[in-house]
């Protein structure tokens, strides 16, 4: 199959080009739908019954579909697609609406690998730029990385998560406010325009070498399961965009870059959102760079101490609700917060390249 499954369920009337050679689409042929249907059937956490609510009161796949239809009732094509499949199996209905990333036909064998790798780099970057979600574990809209490896446990796990998010979103009360961090990937129709806009910004950007390096780094850090390496990779992208090498005859290099990092990240974050407390940002960034230096210099005893200091700061600033130090949760918060700063700075770099160049040289 010449497509990758995403984490979206949404009917698409006509394929939507995201970049040259790649389109968002739904499975169209009977063969494609049945192929995706097998994965959906394996992955769904709900019993696929034709009743809205099962006899025992549990949620069923048909109920999820009906709630999805209600949630997006303003889009006539959603209702049309669901009604056209009225007598089909629920897994078939879902498969026919699942969003896929399709590779157009015609690429030569020697072009294929490079084209696909470039697309995946851009997709991860576009996801970060287009969604107000900063989660290092799960920031790609793709359910799997490879065109040829659809039917595996990773896909099933990702699809299960998507189903749960769809049901949470679809059953949300109309009066219930949604926090930014709760927005996930099921509202495909709301985000496509952002994805396209950001793609064109990247494509037309002057400094292509830097942007290509960052897009490759973003995909690699998503795949990297070592938390220390992932964190250092995020901080290195921020350093690349904001810091310069100081004069070693006048300054302590490590100390100078640490101050640059703290002050410049605080400045860009404040310019992006003037409601933030810049003193809190400055304190956090100081610790972020200390932790980065601990790892870079192999000072792991100090790393544990600084990680505990970061936990205490997050607890004080109410970024963390737990009372007792938990190393894994603290790493999660550290990486996600650092990723947030990286995205803010990268967006500013794309929007106002000259301003970032001036700030970098200060």
Question: Residue ranges per domain, the chain?
Answer: 3-203, 224-361
Burial class (CB in 10 A: 0-12, 13-18, 19+), 335: buried
State the Cα–Cα distance between residues 164 and 182, nearest whole angstrom: 13
pLDDT at residue number 249: 61
183, two tokens: 């927005």
115, two tokens: 């084209």
Burial class (CB in 10 A: 0-12, 13-18, 19+), 14: exposed
pLDDT at residue number 66: 86
State the Cα–Cα distance between residues 301 and 354, nearest whole angstrom: 40
State the Cα–Cα distance between residues 362 and 359, nearest whole angstrom: 5
The helix/strand/coil state of 185 is coil
Among 7, 19, 344, which residue's Cα sits nearest to residue 195?
Answer: 19
Please compute the mean of the pLDDT values over residues 50-74 and round it to a whole number.
Answer: 72
Query: What region does 360 belong to: left with phi over 0, alpha with psi -120 to 50, or beta?
Result: alpha
Q: Which residue has the higher pLDDT, 191 or 29?
A: 29
- Kindly report the length of the chain: 362
CB 218 within 8 A of CB 233: no
Query: Which residues 6+ apart lie within 8 Å of 270 measured at CB?
Result: 276, 278, 281
Sign of CA dihedral 233, 234, 239, 242: positive
Please compute the mean of the pLDDT values over residues 146-150 and round it to a whole number.
Answer: 57
pLDDT at residue number 157: 74
pLDDT in tens, 94-140: 999 999 988 887 777 677 777 777 787 888 888 888 876 555 556 67
């Amino acid at each position: 199959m010449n497509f990758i499954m995403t984490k979206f369920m949404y009917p698409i009337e006509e394929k939507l080009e995201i970049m040259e050679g790649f389109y968002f689409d739904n499975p169209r042929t009977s063969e494609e739908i049945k192929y995706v249907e097998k994965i959906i059937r394996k992955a769904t956490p709900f019993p696929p019954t034709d009743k809205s609510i099962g006899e025992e009161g549990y949620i069923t796949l048909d109920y999820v579909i009906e709630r999805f239809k209600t949630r997006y009732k303003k889009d006539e094509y959603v209702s049309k697609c669901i009604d056209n499949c009225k007598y089909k199996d629920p897994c078939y209905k879902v498969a026919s609406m699942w969003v896929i990333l399709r590779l157009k036909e015609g690429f030569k064998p020697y072009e294929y690998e490079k084209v696909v790798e470039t697309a995946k780099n851009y997709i991860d970057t576009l996801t970060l730029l287009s969604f107000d979600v900063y989660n290092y574990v799960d920031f790609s809209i793709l359910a799997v990385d490879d065109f040829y490896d659809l039917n595996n446990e990773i896909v099933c796990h990702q699809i299960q998560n998507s189903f749960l998010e769809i049901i949470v979103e679809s059953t949300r009360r109309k009066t219930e406010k949604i926090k930014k961090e709760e927005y996930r990937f099921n509202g495909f129709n709301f985000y496509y325009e952002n994805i396209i806009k950001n793609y064109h910004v990247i494509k037309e950007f002057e400094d292509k070498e830097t942007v290509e390096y960052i897009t490759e780094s973003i995909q690699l850090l998503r795949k990297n399961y070592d938390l220390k390496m992932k964190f250092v990779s995020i901080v290195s992208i921020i350093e690349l965009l904001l810091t310069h090498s100081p004069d070693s005859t006048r300054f302590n290099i490590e100390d100078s870059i640490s101050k640059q990092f703290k002050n410049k990240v605080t400045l860009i974050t404040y310019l992006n959102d003037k409601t933030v407390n810049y003193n809190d940002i400055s304190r956090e960034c100081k610790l972020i760079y200390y932790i980065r230096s601990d790892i870079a210099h192999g000072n792991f005893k100090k790393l544990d101490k600084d990680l505990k200091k970061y936990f205490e700061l997050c607890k004080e600033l109410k970024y963390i609700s737990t009372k007792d130090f938990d190393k894994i949760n603290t790493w999660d918060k550290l990486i996600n917060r650092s990723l947030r700063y990286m995205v803010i700075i990268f967006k500013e770099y794309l929007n106002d390249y000259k301003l970032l160049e001036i700030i970098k040289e200060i």
